[in-house]
Structure 1
Amino acid sequence: MDAQLADVEAGKRFYGELFGWTFEEALGSSVWALLDDEPVASLAPKVDGRMPTVWTVSFATPDAAALGRRIAEAGGQVVMAPFPVGDLGTAALAADPQGAVFGLWQAGSHPGFGRRHEPNTFVWVELYTRDTAAANTFYGALFHEALFGAGAEPDFGRADVADVFPVEMPPHFVTHFRVADLDDAVGAVQRLGGRVQVPPFETSYGRVAVVTDNQGASFAVLQR
């Protein structure tokens, strides 16, 4: 997953303080976010100021072009066709039939997360959608083995957008980071210049708050 930010240096200060991440140069002006020297995310500069300031989760695939075709056939859209990212892999950007945007990642030398499901790393992504049955059909068909296969570790859910957000909020993904203490994490977000978008609430997978960083990128913190 990666954050598209107007100011990567400000992002390093915010997330470094919040999660204890360190950083090293990646490709171009992007940086790896590391926890104990293992990659947990990346921060990248927005190439166009009109682009949203967001966290984007990418689903692993052995063939981004083939998956893109299946997405289009299922009523979704390929927003950005597959393109090489040096020798790291091939990336693409897609949207589901309701408009929720997600990435695709065909690994080269970079397989993805070095650590996850631990404090201060990725733990969950929730799709907030207007039609949960349609989402089940779309994502189940695309990613059945990854989501439901033997030994799969759950880290993806979906809910009605109106359960948490105002009814006019468009469908979207919210990336969740695990924290040891939710209240402490929310306090740190506010102290660092971020804000609370949705106050703490209970879910089937833990206690969650949706927040934004000091540049407006939304994410969630989760205490399991």
Structure 2
Amino acid sequence: MRRILFPLILGLGGIAILLNLGFWQLRRLEWKESILATIAARIDAPPEQLPPEGADGQALKYTPVRVAGRTTGQELHMLTGRQGVGPGFEVIAAFETADGRRILLDRGFIPETAKDMPRPPVDLDVTGNIHWPDETTASTPAPDIGRNIWFARDVPAMAAALETEPLMVAARSVDGAGQGVVPVPISVEGIRNDHLNYAITWFSLAGVWAGMTGYLLWRIRRRTI
């Protein structure tokens, strides 16, 4: 009995720890799904007026807005891609509102071949969401200014480059000449939620640990017979 006591305690302790981690991830999954539901409801709410100048765009992330105005012809291109289409760019344009403000407008996607096509100033009525993408990390390359290629939507840096307010609106629908730019609406689909996969991993490890413990105890018993 003494020979199996320590492996038994070790096995049961490991199983308990792994199961606890799995249940913790399930609780995290419930928490994350609640947050995603709140974000989805905020994204799809009726559009509001553009917040006043100086408002915190990061705090207002996902707020639906409707804004009318005109593009200036100035735009930045963020390298990206779309499934079934291939590589391309997200078009971030300087946008002058009807009351004279300059903001960033994420007009949407263009294929790689359309990068250098002319997109002169055009009047647009945009329904979308205020956005503050969290895409820039320590490993994000600096933008290639000469070729006008960016690798993340960095609101402060892009606002400085286009001399606009640090406020970005991501278009959901656009009335006016699209000029080949396809809106890419904000959705919760791009927000990572891997907690279920993590839970399955911990529960699977608990099963493996239980199997290994059972096999070890079986081996010990056989030696004592």
Name the TM-score, length of structure 1 as normaliser: 0.23
From the two aligned structures, give the one with the greater strand fraction. 1
Q: Which has the higher contact order (CA 8 A, sep 6+)?
A: 2
From the two aligned structures, give the one with the greater helix fraction. 2
- When Rg is computed on C-alpha atoms for both structures, the one with the higher figure is 2
